[in-house]
Amino acid sequence: MSGTRAFRLAHWVSDTVNGLRLKTARRWKFIPQTVAYQGYGSTEWVRVLGRVVLTSKPVPGSKAERLVQNGNQNFRGWRAFTSVPVQFTEVEILLGGVTTRVHADRGGLVDTVVPVALTPGWHTATLRAEGTEPVEARIFVISADTRLGIVSDIDDTIMVTALPRPFLALWNTFVLNERARMATPGMAVLMDRLKVEHPEAPVLYLSTGPWNAAPTLARFIARNLYPSGALLLTDWGLTHDRWFRSGQEHKRRNLELLAQEFPNMRWLLFGDNGQHDEEIYSGFAQEHPDRVAAIGIRQLSASEAVFAGGHSDSGDHSGSSVPWIYSPDGAGLAKGLQDLDLL
C-alpha cells in the first residue's frame, strides 16, 4: 500500500473511531464545552488557542461534583482524557471589538492568528462554539520594544515527572493526582526573579504534552508560583504525513515560529538533558544565534537519567556564540544567568 493510501486509511480509521466516541459521549449525556487557553501576540495580531470537546458532567451529589464546587484539585490524571474532541466545528472569537470565526481542526483544537490592534499588556478574548457557553482566554500582548522572552520545557524542567519513563509516564499522566506532582527545586524562584528583572518578558511553556493535560498543567504552574504563560502543547495522533505526531518537530516548529513573529527578540531557553532539548535548542541557536540570549539545561540526577534512558549528548558548545548553563536545579541556573548579567 502506498504511503498516501495508508495515511488516507489511517485518517478514515481515526475519524471513524472519533465518530463512535462522539456517539457514545452523546448517549452518555456528555455536554459540549469550549475550552480557552492563554494566548500571546503583538500589538498587531494575537495567537488564540482553544479546544472544543464533549465532556462529562459530574453526577449531582457525587464526589467529583463536590471537588469542582470546592475548587479542589485532587483529581486523578485520567479524568483529563475522558473528553472527546469535536472536529471542525465553528468557533467565534471576540477580541478588541473584532469578531473572528474559525473552525477547529481534526483534534478539536483552535490555533489561529487574529489580526487586531491592541496595546501591550493583558487582554481578554471570548471564545464560543455552537451549543457551548462563552469562555474567556487571557492574551498577553508583547510590546514592540521588548527584547527578551522566556521559553521553558515543562516535564523534568519545571516539573519533576521523568516523562520518558515508559511505565511511570503512564502512572504520572493517568493515575497520579495532580497535587502529587513536584516542582523542580529552585525553578519557580528563578522564573520569578527573571520576571522581576524583565517584567515585560513573555513566558511560553513549550512541551510535548497533550492538550488534554493543559488545565492540569496550568493549575500546576499557578499553584507552584511559576509566572503565567501560554502553553504550547500538541495532540497525540495523526498528521497529514505521519502516523504519530513528532514532539521534536513540534518544538522546532514553534521555536521557528517565534523567531519569525518577533524578529527583534532574544530568548532564554530552558530544558533538560533527558530528552531532546539540547539537540533542538542547539539547532535553533546555530540557525539563529542572534535570537538566543542563553540556554539553561537542567541536569537529571543519575537515577532520573537511568529511567529516562540516559543523558542526552550535550556536545561541545565551546565554539558556540550562545552561552550554555548546566545545573541540577534553579539555583545553579540562576547563578549562571547572574554571571551573564541576565539576572
Task: Please indicate, yes or no, if residue 42 is contained in any of the structural domains.
Answer: yes
Point out the domain boundary residue: 141, 162, 182: 141
Structural domain of residue 41, as residue ranges? Answer: 31-141
Task: Please indicate, yes or no, if residue 25 is contained in any of the structural domains.
Answer: no
Per-residue confidence (pLDDT) for residue 71, from 0 to 100: 46
Q: Are residues 262 and 160 in the same domain?
A: yes
Q: Are residues 69 and 206 in the same domain?
A: no
Per-residue confidence (pLDDT) for residue 112, from 0 to 100: 97
User: Which residues of the chain register pLDDT less than 70?
Assistant: 1-28, 57-82, 161-180, 236-246, 302-316, 318-319
Per-residue confidence (pLDDT) for residue 12, from 0 to 100: 59
Per-residue confidence (pLDDT) for residue 91, from 0 to 100: 97
Per-residue confidence (pLDDT) for residue 49, from 0 to 100: 97
Per-residue confidence (pLDDT) for residue 317, from 0 to 100: 73
Point out the domain boundary residue: 90, 117, 141: 141
Total domains in the fold of the chain: 2
Q: Are residues 217 and 167 in the same domain?
A: yes
Per-residue confidence (pLDDT) for residue 276, from 0 to 100: 86
pTM of the model: 0.84
Could you report the per-residue pLDDT of 73-107, keeping only the tens digit for each?
A: 455 454 556 678 888 999 999 999 999 999 999 88
Per-residue confidence (pLDDT) for residue 241, from 0 to 100: 44
Q: Are residues 232 and 299 in the same domain?
A: yes
Output the 3-class SS for the chain: CCHHHHHHHHHHHHHHHHHHHHHHHHHCCCEEEEEEEEEEECCCEEEEEEEEEEECCCCCCCHHHHHHHCCCCCCEHHHHHCCEECCCCEEEEEECCEEEEEECCCCCEEEEEEECCCCCEEEEEEEEECCCCCEEEEEEECCCCCCEEEEECCECCCEECCCCCHHHHHHHHHHCEHHHCEECCCHHHHHHHHHHHCCCCCEEEEEEEEHHHHHHHHHHHHHCCCCCCEEEEECCCCCCCCCCCCHHHHHHHHHHHHHHHCCCCEEEEEEECCCCHHHHHHHHHHHCHHHEEEEEEECCCHHHHHHCCCCCCCCCCCCCCCCEEEECCHHHHHHHHHHCCCC
Could you report the per-residue pLDDT of 173-217, keeping only the tens digit for each?
A: 555 566 667 899 999 999 999 999 999 999 999 998 888 888 888
Point out the domain boundary residue: 126, 141, 156: 141
Q: Are residues 109 and 162 in the same domain?
A: no
Q: Are residues 171 and 248 in the same domain?
A: yes
Q: Are residues 203 and 74 in the same domain?
A: no
Domain of 74, CATH number, reads 2.60.40.10
